């Protein structure tokens, strides 16, 4: 059914973050449109494939690599990171320690993986389980924007795999940045200037994508 | 036993073929398939009530082995199986007034699966054995309702059927009846055959059990390596002796006693107590604590326990085995702080708990993890793991050269799929009953069998995998089909030769250990000899 002039992109995306933050749930929600509180722990890596009709001329195929969260496996992740084009780093808003680990995950990622142009891969930060951590981040919007800027995230979202909040949006944001970084190999996208959105609702809180 | 009456039929179904029973129950126990409090016929939760002591539960669940037929499923399975037999008679969907048998509608919105399941359960109950003869009658094709559809004259306001048309309808109708009868007979034959096989299987298990209990176990050391025992072993251990044989085969090099287990358990409990007292507010301050400390923490184990066989419902919070699993894992982190808790362990401990008493499960667990292969993986000793992968690839290429090349062309390395298989000893990737059978032979043959099983799986699905690209292979292998059967898998495993130019697994592995001394960092290319 594909038109002849249609472009197809294949992107490998990593989904990383501490154990039990909901990486698998986010992917299941995104790809299979469902949620279960009973997923099994991921050992090693799991896979999923999502096809997006990006626009009239572009089809985007996302290869999602769902990587086990235990720090101990750090040694093995290099193999999994290879040739990825973008990443989500996930933490659980109800467990502060998982947020502490975010910078570690980001450093680990950047140390093991760069784009062909030498730049770090576009990475979006996901504050998951926002349906449970009521208002944990609400007043920290500016702080989060600052955090993203300092740590080189292209944006952040409050997400809930359970309630299906912001997952599609987060993915679009990441893909947008990947496409931009691809089409402009020399200078990648200007890091988004963070606009505070004090009264932002939960539904849209990507500093990067919302400003346009 | 040519014609078994219906009741024992259901009975044998559950008892003999616990594998299938288990499969059914496993799928059915998936939460999304459960009727929410609705249909009174299907029990809402497969797990026994939490307050039941695990010991009793174990017995009641018959968990001693092969994959455990839950008592509750007894009824459920019984019904569904029977409904299947009756299918031609009741095939029409629920809610068709035409047939006069309309299951009472419930108002809850349900998906079609639930509806069908409830309907099956209900009809199963309706057909619940009045007497063998009456049931027989039910199976026979009853054309009444169909007659109403096809043979009836048209309503008065429409022109009557022509003679030809009436004749044609009569003929079509006769053909349909004949076809249905044929199908019915064919299915009856099939059922009989299946029953015969199951019966045979049960006899085999029963006689094997007698041999294990009366002959082998009393003379374990003398007999374990004999050809006869090894062959019997390959057939799968009878559930009732499975735990015992595993314990004996794994051994107790570490000389752990039940008392020692109690000591480590109480130490673990103290740590949890102090952990929960200092609790989460201090979390951030503790961030600097050593990795091992963090990993041994209550939270990590807790997080994983409820994600261990979630569909069984017995390890989750409030489930009968939740605390047991917690205890075994906690005691282990105190016993081996150098290893700590590593993901995957919860699955191994869970399988042991399903087959052994608490202290014995711990002893087997600690000794099992002390085997070189398990130690390499659970310490995440990456260079050692790569050597295991390299050895695996030697036999992969030897046994399945075409598939090996196919994988190579996508740079699809064993770290993509073997990690999960080895870390959980297949208990996560295969149906539990089948995983237990793999464990049986793993206890007999050692680590080599884990890799052989992996090759067996690849062989079983070789044709499908050859048609797939990278992402689909990766997805397939990290989530194997649920309908994989032990007969098929074991015949594929049996066909895998663990010989590479006269070298066996251990030799290949040893030579890799030597070879790779220099090129440690190189990524797992299998050396050619």
| Window B:460-479, CB contacts with A under 8 Å | 471-472, 474-475, 478-479
Question: Confidence class of residue B501 from pLDDT cuts 50, 70 and 90?
Answer: confident
B313: left (phi over 0), alpha (psi -120 to 50) or beta: left
CA distance B323 to B345: 15
Most distant CA pair in chain A: distance in Å?
49
CATH number at residue B513: 1.10.472.80
The pLDDT-based confidence of B454 (bands split at 50, 70, 90) is very high
CB contact under 8 A, A38 and B304: no
DSSP state of A129: -
pLDDT in tens, B300-349: 888 899 889 888 888 988 889 999 999 999 999 999 988 889 999 999 99
Mean pLDDT of chain B: 76
Q: What is the pLDDT of residue A82?
A: 92
Judgement on whether residues B315 and B417 belong to the same structural domain of the protein: no
CATH no. for A5-181: 3.40.50.300
Do residues B432 and B470 both lie within one domain? yes
Note the pLDDT tens digit of each residue in A24-83. 999 999 999 999 888 889 999 999 999 999 999 999 999 999 999 888 888 788 889 999
Q: CB of B391 within 8 A of CB of B512?
A: yes
Q: Which of residues 409-468 of B touch A (CB under 8 A)?
A: 413, 415-417, 419-420, 423-424, 428
Question: Are B252 and B312 in a shared domain?
Answer: yes
Considering CB atoms only, which of A19, A41, A76 is closest to B380? Answer: A76
HEC sequence for B23-85: HHHHHHCCHHHCCCCCCCCCCCCCCCCCCCCHHHHHHHHCCCCCCCCCHHHHHHHHHHHHHHH
So what's the pLDDT on residue B184? Answer: 93
How high is the pLDDT of residue A182?
Answer: 82
Contact A8, B440 (CB under 8 A): no
Average pLDDT over residues B131-154: 52
DSSP state of B213: I
Whether A68 has its CB under 8 Å from any CB of chain B: the answer is: yes
The 3 state secondary structure assigned to B379-408 is CCCHHHHHHHHHHHHHHHHHHCHHHHHHHH
Residue B312: the pLDDT is 85
Distance CA B377, CA B386 (A): 10
Among residues B282, B81, B48, B95, which one has the least CA distance to residue B191? B81
Under the banding of pLDDT at 50, 70 and 90, the label for residue B281 is very low
Length of chain A: 212
Residues B484 and B395 in one domain: yes
Do B252 and B342 reside in the same domain of the chain?
yes
Q: Are residues B515 and B383 in the same domain?
A: yes
**Residue B239: CB atoms within 10 Å:** 21
Helix, strand, coil tally for chain B in percent (to 5)? 65, 0, 30
Q: What is the dihedral of CA B150, B153, B155, B157, to 10 degrees?
A: 130
CB contact under 8 A, A76 and B415: yes
Q: How confident is the model at residue B351 (pLDDT cuts 50, 70, 90)?
A: very high
Question: For chain B, how long is the longest CA-to-CA vector?
Answer: 95
The answer, yes or no, to whether residue B34 has pLDDT greater than 90, is no
Pair (B337, B429) in one structural domain: no
Tell if the CB–CB gap between B310 and A96 is shorter than 8 Å: no
- Do the strands B499-500 and A155-158 form a parallel or antiparallel pair, or are they unpaired? unpaired
Q: Which of A135-144, B31-40, B366-375, B478-487 has the lowest mean pLDDT?
A: B31-40
Residue B439, pLDDT score:
98
**Total structural domains within chain B:** 3
Mean pLDDT of A159-166: 94
In sequence order, what are the residues at sequence separation of 6 or more whose Cβ sits closer than 8 angstroms to the Cβ of residue B485?
B19, B434
From B370, B393, B420, give the residue that closes a domain: B370
CA-nearest residue to A46 within chain B is: B478
The arithmetic mean of pLDDT across residues A175-197, rounded, is 65
Q: Note whether residue B134 is domain-resident.
A: no
Domain boundary among B339, B370, B401: B370
Q: Quick check: B457 pLDDT over 50?
A: yes
Residue B99 has pLDDT above 80, yes or no: no
The model's pLDDT over B375-408, given as tens digits with 9 standing for 90+, comes to 999 999 999 999 999 999 999 999 999 999 999 9
| Confidence bin at B117 (pLDDT 50/70/90) | low
Confidence (pLDDT) at B76? 39
Range of the domain at B390: 377-519
What are the structural domain ranges in chain A?
5-181
**Confidence at B16, pLDDT banded by 50, 70, 90:** very low
- Mean predicted confidence (pLDDT) in B81-92: 40
Q: Residues B391, B514: one domain?
A: yes
| Residue B224: band (very low, low, confident or very high) from pLDDT cuts 50, 70, 90 | very high
Burial A20-50 (b: 16+ CB within 10 A, else e): bbbbbbbbbbbeeeebbeebbbbbbbbbbeb
Where on the phi/psi map is residue B398: left (φ > 0), alpha (ψ -120 to 50), or beta? alpha
> Do residues B224 and B250 share a domain?
no
Q: Which of B43-52, B409-418, B493-502 has the lowest mean pLDDT?
A: B43-52
pLDDT the model gives residue B273: 80
Q: Which residues pair with A123 in a beta bridge?
A: A87
Q: Do A43 and B420 touch (CB under 8 A)?
A: yes
Instruction: Say yes or no for a CB contact (<8 Å) between B380 and A68.
Output: no
Chain B CB within 8 Å of residue A63 CB: yes
Find the residue in A nearest to B316 (Cα).
A38
| For residues B44-69, average pLDDT | 43
Q: How far is B529 from chain A (nearest CA, A)?
A: 26
Does the beta carbon of B308 lie under 8 angstroms from any beta carbon of chain A? yes
Which residue, B331, B352, B370, sits at the end of a domain?
B370
Report the distance separating Cα B17 and Cα B526, nearest Å: 41
Same domain, B266 and B365: yes
Helix (H, G, I), strand (E, B) or coil at A3: coil
Of A70, A71, A100, which has the smallest distance from its Cβ to B284's Cβ?
A100
Distance (Å, whole) CA A103 – CA A119: 17
Low-confidence winner among B100-114, B166-180, B193-207 (lowest mean pLDDT): B100-114
Residue B303 included in any domain: yes
Please check whether residues B385 and B511 belong to one and the same domain.
Answer: yes
pLDDT, tens only, B65-75: 434 444 444 33
Q: Which two tokens stand for residue B437?
A: 């059978």
Query: For residue B341, what are its two tokens?
Result: 């808790």
Which of B245-259, B313-327, B509-523 is most confident?
B245-259
* DSSP assigned state of B218: G
Q: Tell me the count of A-B CB pairs closer than 8 A.
A: 98
Report percent pLDDT > 70 for chain A: 81
B395 with B480, same domain: the answer is yes
Residue B449 lies in a domain: yes
Q: What phi and psi values does residue A86 have, to the nearest 5 degrees?
A: -165, 170
């Amino acid at each position: 059914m594909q038109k002849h002039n249609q472009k197809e992109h294949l992107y490998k995306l990593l989904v990383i973050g501490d154990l039990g933050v909901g990486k698998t749930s986010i992917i299941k929600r995104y790809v299979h449109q469902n949620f279960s509180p009973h997923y099994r722990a991921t050992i090693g890596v799991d896979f999923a494939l999502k096809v997006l009709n990006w626009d009239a001329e572009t089809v985007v195929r996302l290869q999602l690599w769902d990587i086990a969260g235990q720090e101990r496996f750090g040694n093995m992740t290099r193999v999994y990171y290879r040739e990825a084009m973008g990443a989500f780093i996930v933490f659980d808003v109800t467990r502060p320690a998982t947020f502490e680990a975010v910078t570690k995950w980001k450093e680990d990622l950047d140390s093991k993986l760069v784009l062909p142009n030498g730049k770090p891969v576009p990475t979006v930060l996901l504050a998951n389980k926002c349906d449970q951590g009521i208002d944990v981040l609400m007043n920290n919007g500016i702080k989060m924007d600052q955090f993203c800027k300092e740590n080189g995230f292209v944006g952040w979202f409050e997400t809930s795999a359970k309630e299906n909040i912001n997952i599609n949006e987060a993915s679009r944001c990441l893909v947008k940045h990947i496409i931009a970084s691809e089409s402009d190999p020399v200078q990648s996208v200007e890091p988004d200037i963070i606009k505070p959105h004090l009264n932002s609702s939960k539904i849209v809180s990507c500093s990067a994508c919302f400003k346009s | 036993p040519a014609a078994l009456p219906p009741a024992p039929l259901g009975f044998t179904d559950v008892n003999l073929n616990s594998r299938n029973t288990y499969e059914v129950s496993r799928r059915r126990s998936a939460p999304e398939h459960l009727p929410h409090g609705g249909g009174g016929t299907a029990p809402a939760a497969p797990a026994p009530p939490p307050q039941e002591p695990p010991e009793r539960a174990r017995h009641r669940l018959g968990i001693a082995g092969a994959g455990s037929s839950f008592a509750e499923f007894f009824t459920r399975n019984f019904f569904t199986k029977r409904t299947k037999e009756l299918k031609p008679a009741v095939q029409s969907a629920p809610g068709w007034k035409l047939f006069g048998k309309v299951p009472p509608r419930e108002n809850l919105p349900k998906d079609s699966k639930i509806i069908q399941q409830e309907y099956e359960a209900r009809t199963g109950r309706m057909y619940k054995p009045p007497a063998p003869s009456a049931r027989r009658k039910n199976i026979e094709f009853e054309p009444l309702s169909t007659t109403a559809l096809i043979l009836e004259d048209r309503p008065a306001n429409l022109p009557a059927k022509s003679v030809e048309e009436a004749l044609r309808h009569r003929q079509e109708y006769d053909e349909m009846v004949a076809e249905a009868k044929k199908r019915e007979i064919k299915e009856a034959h099939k059922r009989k055959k299946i029953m015969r096989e199951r019966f045979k299987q049960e006899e085999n298990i029963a006689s094997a059990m007698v041999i294990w209990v009366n002959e082998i176990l009393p003379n374990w050391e003398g007999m374990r390596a004999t050809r006869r025992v090894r062959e019997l072993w390959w057939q799968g251990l009878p559930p009732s002796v499975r735990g015992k044989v595993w314990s004996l085969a794994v051994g107790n090099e570490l000389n752990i006693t039940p008392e020692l287990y109690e000591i480590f358990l109480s130490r673990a409990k103290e740590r949890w107590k102090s952990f929960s007292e200092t609790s989460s507010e201090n979390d951030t301050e503790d961030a600097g604590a050593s990795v091992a400390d963090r990993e041994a923490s209550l939270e990590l184990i807790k997080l994983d326990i409820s994600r261990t066989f979630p569909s069984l419902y017995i390890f989750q919070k409030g489930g009968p085995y939740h605390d047991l699993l917690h205890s075994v894992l906690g005691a282990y982190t105190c016993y081996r702080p150098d290893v700590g808790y590593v993901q995957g362990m919860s699955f191994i401990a869970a399988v042991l708990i399903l087959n052994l008493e608490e202290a014995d499960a711990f002893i087997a667990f600690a000794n099992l993890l002390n085997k070189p292969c398990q130690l390499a993986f659970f310490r995440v000793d990456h260079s050692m793991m790569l050597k295991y992968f390299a050895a695996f690839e030697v036999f992969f290429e030897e046994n399945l050269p075409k598939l090996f090349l196919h994988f190579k062309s996508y740079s699809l390395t064993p770290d993509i799929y073997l990690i999960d298989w080895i870390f959980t000893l297949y208990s996560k990737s295969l149906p539990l009953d089948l995983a237990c059978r793999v464990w049986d032979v793993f206890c007999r043959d050692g680590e080599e069998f884990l890799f052989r099983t992996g090759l067996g799986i690849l062989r079983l699905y070789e044709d499908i995998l050859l048609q797939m690209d990278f992402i689909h292979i990766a997805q397939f292998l990290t989530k194997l089909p649920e309908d994989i059967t032990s007969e098929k898998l074991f015949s594929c495993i049996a066909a895998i030769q663990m010989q590479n130019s006269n070298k066996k697994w251990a030799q290949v592995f040893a030579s890799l250990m030597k070879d790779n001394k220099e090129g440690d960092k190189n990524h797992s290319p299998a050396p050619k000899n």
